[in-house]
């Protein structure tokens, strides 16, 4: 993956230089009532641009007066940690926690930032956005082949249905873009048929609604929420929305083809990655004849990712994709190489590999050499400083997979033995041994391309029943390969070690 940390560090350094300058000029004004006058980004070039909302994980700067001596900071009534080094009388730099409870799911919370100092408290109305809504599909109780009628109940399936501002039918897609990514303008007036009689389910993933007085034969269902909008196609006749059953890799290396498996891949509109972060139009997607497989390649790597949404004229479906919060080690943003190799091989990275893959997502590590007969200790690789994946602690271990991307330059030879160890140094340490690296979809060693490989997490940990039991032990990835039965040329590379919760 690409490394975005250096840009952040440069911005922090520039910001701190400015804060030191401002602080020196402002010494002695910390005794008055603290006041927050605005919030802005850490980018010094955008110092004059204030905003009143942000997303979890964002880095923001509080601007105000008499903010020195800050003891506590609250967002949405929740105390957050901050570094006093990044706080002066006029500015405070802080990060919005990713696990912060949001007003969308908890409307009883106050949508504000509160700074408690030694000489008073300052509050500022500020909204932390919930994830953008995803409409997936809709269903109803059709009466044979009769179309839907006014007042009839429909059930709209989606995700992140928070803070709904509007729900309606229309004959124009307000989110449609042209081949260059520019919004398509309507040719004439757009009529909205508001849906006002609806209820949102307790998990914010279902809308039960009654159709308005005018029901279009064909059009769109549009939802507008505080954090964004989403659209699905609508017909009064019974639709056939797409169904995603599997994906070749939920975190493919940049440039590698990615395949979705399922059904009803008809009348494609686009694939959307994340919060409209990347849109892949239908013309860049290849579909097989029976509409059960489609293949695409990422034009660029997602910076945030999270979900993949397949959009057709009949509806949409979604699947987890590039969930960076579940990454253990990617060598760019999380984790690093500690030690590895023996006298009969060498450990390599993207700068020293003799058989470097054509497609890479930044840094990777691997092993090159030739295995030795009767040598069961040949190719160790120890990787550490893992990120602790952000997965609900109540998730059963049996529902989680350990996944990684693997590139084999040479074919697998019979007798190849591999193992992984997770939770090294803890009571949950587990070792799983297997024969060769195989693609999780084909079950074969696919040479000359990046494979997505998978192991049930239960096979890699000892004890524990839920993710919360073992999460703090996931600090490293320890692997080894050898072939004591045959001499085998090896050039194997690894990237994107992660956890994946089965859907």
The CATH number assigned to the domain holding 116 equals 2.60.40.10
Query: In what order do the strands lie in the sheet containing 206-210?
Result: 134-140, 153-159, 206-210, 198-200
Predicted confidence at residue 85, as pLDDT, reads: 87
The CATH number assigned to the domain holding 148 equals 2.60.40
- Claim to verify: residue 257 and residue 276 sit in the same structural domain: yes
Tell me what percent of the residues of the chain surpass a pLDDT of 90: 79
| Rounded CA separation 213/195 (Å) | 9
Whether 173 shows a pLDDT value over 50: the answer reads: yes
Whether 22 shows a pLDDT value over 80: the answer reads: no
Between 86 and 399, name the one with better pLDDT: 399
pLDDT in tens, 92-131: 999 999 999 999 999 999 999 999 999 999 999 999 999 9
Could you give the C-alpha distances from 484 to 202, 408, 417, in angstroms and in order? 57, 18, 8
| Rounded CA separation 389/477 (Å) | 13
Mean pLDDT, range 83-88, rounded to an integer: 90
Quick one: which H or E segment has residue 12? Answer: helix 5-26
- Claim to verify: residue 305 and residue 443 sit in the same structural domain: no
pLDDT in tens, 415-432: 999 999 999 999 999 999
Contacts of 63 (CB under 8 A, 6+ apart): 36, 37, 38, 39, 40, 50, 90, 91
Which of 128, 156, 174 lies at the terminal end of a domain, its last residue? 128
Quick one: which H or E segment has residue 24? Answer: helix 5-26
Mean pLDDT, range 161-177, rounded to an integer: 93
CA 449 to chain centre: 24
- Pick from 352, 382, 354: nearest CA to 491: 354
Could you give the C-alpha distances from 416 to 69, 375, 376, 484, 493, in angstroms and in order? 61, 11, 10, 8, 16
- Claim to verify: residue 173 and residue 95 sit in the same structural domain: no
Q: Which domain range does residue 258 map to?
A: 243-322
Composition of the chain by helix, strand, coil, percent to 5: 10, 40, 50
Read off the pTM.
Answer: 0.69
Contact of 340 with 433, CB cutoff 8 Å: no
Q: What is the domain count for the chain?
A: 4
Beta pairing, strands 198-200 & 206-210: antiparallel
Predicted confidence at residue 183, as pLDDT, reads: 87
Helix (H, G, I), strand (E, B) or coil at 211: coil
| Rounded CA separation 401/499 (Å) | 6
pLDDT in tens, 231-282: 988 999 888 889 999 999 999 999 999 999 999 999 898 999 987 889 999 9
Q: How many CB atoms lie within 10 A of CB 398?
A: 11
Confidence of residue 7 (pLDDT cuts 50, 70, 90): very low
Predicted confidence at residue 30, as pLDDT, reads: 53
Between 389 and 15, name the one with better pLDDT: 389
Contact of 361 with 329, CB cutoff 8 Å: no
Mean pLDDT, range 437-458, rounded to an integer: 97
Whether 290 shows a pLDDT value over 50: the answer reads: yes
- Claim to verify: residue 345 and residue 485 sit in the same structural domain: yes
Category of 145 on φ-ψ map: left (φ > 0), alpha (ψ -120 to 50) or beta: alpha
pLDDT in tens, 340-383: 999 999 999 999 999 999 999 999 999 999 999 999 999 999 99
- Claim to verify: residue 24 and residue 139 sit in the same structural domain: no
Between 408 and 274, name the one with better pLDDT: 408
Which of 266, 288, 322 lies at the terminal end of a domain, its last residue? 322
- Pick from 80, 85, 91, 102: nearest CA to 50: 91
Whether 15 shows a pLDDT value over 60: the answer reads: no
Predicted confidence at residue 21, as pLDDT, reads: 40
- Claim to verify: residue 360 and residue 469 sit in the same structural domain: yes
- Claim to verify: residue 55 and residue 178 sit in the same structural domain: no
The CATH number assigned to the domain holding 377 equals 2.60.120
Predicted confidence at residue 14, as pLDDT, reads: 47
Which of 235, 258, 277 lies at the terminal end of a domain, its last residue? 235
Predicted confidence at residue 49, as pLDDT, reads: 85
| Rounded CA separation 209/217 (Å) | 18
pLDDT in tens, 129-144: 999 998 888 989 988 8
Mean pLDDT, range 153-165, rounded to an integer: 95
- Claim to verify: residue 32 and residue 87 sit in the same structural domain: yes
What are the helix and strand counts (H, E) for the chain?
2, 36
């Amino acid at each position: 993956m690409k490394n975005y940390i250096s840009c952040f560090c440069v911005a922090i350094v520039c910001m701190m230089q400015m804060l030191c300058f401002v602080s020196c000029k402002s010494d002695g004004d910390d005794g008055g009532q603290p006041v927050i006058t605005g919030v802005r980004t850490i980018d010094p070039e955008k110092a004059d641009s204030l905003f009143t909302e942000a997303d979890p994980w964002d880095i923001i700067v509080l601007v105000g007066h008499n903010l020195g001596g800050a003891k506590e900071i609250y967002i949405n009534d929740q105390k957050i940690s901050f570094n006093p080094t990044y706080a002066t009388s006029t500015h405070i730099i802080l990060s919005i926690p990713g696990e912060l409870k949001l007003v969308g799911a908890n409307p009883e919370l106050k949508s504000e930032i509160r700074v408690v100092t030694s000489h008073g408290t300052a509050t500022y109305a500020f909204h932390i956005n919930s994830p953008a809504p995803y409409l997936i599909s809709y269903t109803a109780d059709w009466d044979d082949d009769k179309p839907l009628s006014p007042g009839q109940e429909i059930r709209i399936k989606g995700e992140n249905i928070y803070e709904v501002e509007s729900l309606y039918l229309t004959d124009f897609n307000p989110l449609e873009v042209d081949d260059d990514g520019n919004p398509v303008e309507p040719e004439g007036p757009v009529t909205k048929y508001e849906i006002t009689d609806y209820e949102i389910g307790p998990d914010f993933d279902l809308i039960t609604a009654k159709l308005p007085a005018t029901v279009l034969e064909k059009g769109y269902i549009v939802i507008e929420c505080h954090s964004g909008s989403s659209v699905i196609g609508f017909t009064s006749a019974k639709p056939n929305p797409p169904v995603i059953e599997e994906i070749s890799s939920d975190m493919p290396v940049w440039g590698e083809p990615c395949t979705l498996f399922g059904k009803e891949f008809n009348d494609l509109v686009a694939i959307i990655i994340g919060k409209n972060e990347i849109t892949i139009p239908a013309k860049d997607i290849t579909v097989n004849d029976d509409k059960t497989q489609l293949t695409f390649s990422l034009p660029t790597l997602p910076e945030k990712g999270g979900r993949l949404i397949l959009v057709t004229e009949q509806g949409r479906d979604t699947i987890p994709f590039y969930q960076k919060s579940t990454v253990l080690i990617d060598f760019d943003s999380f984790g690093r190489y500690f030690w590895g190799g023996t006298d009969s091989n060498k450990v390599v990275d993207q700068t020293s590999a003799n058989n470097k893959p054509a497609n890479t997502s930044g840094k990777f590590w691997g092993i090159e050499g030739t295995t030795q007969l009767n040598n069961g200790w040949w190719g160790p690789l120890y990787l550490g400083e893992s990120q602790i994946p952000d997965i609900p602690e109540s998730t059963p271990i049996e529902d989680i997979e350990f996944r990684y991307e693997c590139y084999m330059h040479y074919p697998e030879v019979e007798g190849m033995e591999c193992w992984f160890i997770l939770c090294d140094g803890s009571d949950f340490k587990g070792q799983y041994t297997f024969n060769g690296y195989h693609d999780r979809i084909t079950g074969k060693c696919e040479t000359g391309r990046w494979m997505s490989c998978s192991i049930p997490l239960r096979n890699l940990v000892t004890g524990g029943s839920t993710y919360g039991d073992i999460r703090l032990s996931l600090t490293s990835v320890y692997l080894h390969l050898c072939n004591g039965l045959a001499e085998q040329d090896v050039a194997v590379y690894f990237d994107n070690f992660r956890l994946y919760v089965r859907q």
